[in-house]
Structure 1
């Protein structure tokens, strides 16, 4: 990318750029620059509106599944002439990749998408975990078998009458999906699922008769034994047998059974590697178990408790001092009243990738970040820009840091003197970051547009 394009790319990301400037950039026809402009927070509403009505479907597509775009704006694209845009709206922002919390689409919009003429749109809606029951009720009657199957498979708790109807569906694919959705309350449905793909998922919670339970508990496949070791319907003697299984994953699953006392758990030879994050057992989401989990010697149960935003203050204090790094990190990420010292400690020590989101926590002690200017970790050195008390001289000093990311982060900091920002616009490595600096003078903004040939 040339220096001129880097500067334009940076200007598109500049949070201080007024709407009029951004509208001129949006009209420039450069796809990379348009993505930089629209995939960021703080884009003015009039710029979103211009993008939503842009004649290029590629521009509209940049809004459709964008977690920075309000749900009401994304909802308007449900009537877009492009099926690709409508499909992206239906899919919605990926909650596992989203950098910020986002609103789901209104239920009425989802119902409209559930009746979209293009089956690809309806399939994306069926795959979306946030699709509401009103829209799923339409999707399970879809003319396409794949859509019906996906709609019920991703429905967290489908009504019994929906299961009844789909169990007699003409498509075997749909009938199997209905059986998988209903086996927890209909034991006869489980038997046919225990020998096919996905048997482990069924073995983990299906009501089991004694022959099936015994067969699974003594399967040569350790993944099946581990699954059934977690099954709440497993007879006590088989659960005890699995607690002594030669496979460590099976013993770990057996150690998490709800009926065990702390003494019984401690007697099982299980291990959880430091830094390991494990999915909590389903029973830990039930009422009245938070205190039991939070005070358990089992780190996976303490991890489950740490995920709860409903944890009472005394247990927050207890888990904030937990010896397990993951427990502390999960508490910091999930609890609204996580202590400030825990938030800072987690940011510095956590093995989890979400640690940087802690900067947005209202209690995060940003004024403690300046001392990271000389950290051995380049990522931590970048964080000084979030400290409102960080001296401008420190920011300027780190412009010569050996790490590229540190230098780029400093070049975008508005505490830099304007002459220094203007100088960095001609640095081949830092020009884009300097152009994204909110303190960029107006004359430099217009020079960048002129250089890019934008009227």
Structure 2
């Protein structure tokens, strides 16, 4: 196999990455945003229209342009779930039948998995009948955000599920957005990780402690969603800067009080996501921030660092007519 020659890194590449970072920087002045929209590379204009909340005046400029860019929402990772069941031909049909009122009649103990699990949550069964079924609770089934239904569930049915000995029914209750406060407290300390995670993913008032605990204990799909919840903590997260899990180490960069020396060290972390997050931290010492603006990998997140002053932003976003340096028009 003929090896493809390594592409030579050019100053224009670095400048383009810096411009993309400026497009995300909350400190970037409105007039610079307008110039980037009008004259910047297509990739930078797309960053502006997709990855940040724009001032009204900038949105108006986009809409009124001769060839307006489309302002789009980022696709949400929520709601996706793999429901395939390996090893059971037509399993979905049989599991669906198990939920019917009259259900299959074969003894619970001889039903194959996942049929036993489906039967075990049938609403007609008593708690004793559920306990007699040899079902196996999956560790990650359905652990994601569930949009609120158009017709709310009956509160008594929800309470019944929340007090059940069956983890899957408690997980079902934990999905309810309007869960009663006493049930929120109860399920927040549930012995089943799936119950705690489901509550953290769905309840609008999930506490900071529940969200942080879930983030640290659960490493499956949708983990990043915890950190987007309104109550996710930021204080005292610097304590995770030396955690063995890189996603946990990245929590330290969410703490506004993380020491500058720690932030600088994290820009050299073995994990690229941690390095990029640290490059955007406002406590990053200025010499290191300046150095990263010329770094192939971290120029973009460094340019998005809100600690950059407006003069530096304008220097990095030079437009035609500026005395020196690559201008925006040379990057289109």
Q: Structure 2-normalised TM-score?
A: 0.81
**CA shift for structure 1 position 340:** 2.7
**CA shift for structure 1 position 331:** 0.8
Corresponding residue for 1:180?
Answer: none
Match status 1:276 vs 2:144: no
Distance 2:152 2:113 in 1: 22
Give the number of the structure whose alpha-carbon radius of gyration is greater.
Answer: 1
Question: Which of 69, 94, 119 is residue 225 of structure 1 equivalent to?
Answer: 94
Q: Equivalences for 1:371-410 in 2 at 5 Å?
A: 371-410=239-278
**CA shift for structure 1 position 370:** 0.7
Match status 1:42 vs 2:53: yes
Match status 1:416 vs 2:281: no
Distance 1:284 1:250 in 2: 28
Q: Structure 1-normalised TM-score?
A: 0.60
Number of aligned residue pairs: 299
- The 1:255–1:404 alpha-carbon spacing in structure 2 relative to 1, beyond 3 Å, is same
Corresponding residue for 1:292?
Answer: 160
Match status 1:25 vs 2:36: yes
Corresponding residue for 2:208?
Answer: 340
Corresponding residue for 1:302?
Answer: 170
**CA shift for structure 1 position 342:** 1.5
- The 1:418–1:42 alpha-carbon spacing in structure 2 relative to 1, beyond 3 Å, is farther
| Contact 2:143–2:197 under 8 Å retained in 1 | no
Question: Which of 15, 38, 41 is residue 26 of structure 2 equivalent to?
Answer: 15
Match status 1:249 vs 2:114: yes
| Contact 1:8–1:33 under 8 Å retained in 2 | yes
Distance 1:95 1:268 in 2: 37
**CA shift for structure 1 position 358:** 2.9
Distance 2:65 2:299 in 1: 29
- The 1:278–1:46 alpha-carbon spacing in structure 2 relative to 1, beyond 3 Å, is closer
Corresponding residue for 1:435?
Answer: 303
Corresponding residue for 2:73?
Answer: 66
Query: Equivalent residue of 1:314, what SS?
Result: helix
* Structure 1: tracts of 5 or more residues without a match: 68-93, 99-219
Q: Please tell me the root mean square deviation across aligned C-alpha atoms, in Å.
A: 2.7
Query: Equivalent residue of 1:428, what SS?
Result: coil
Q: Which has the higher helix share?
A: 1
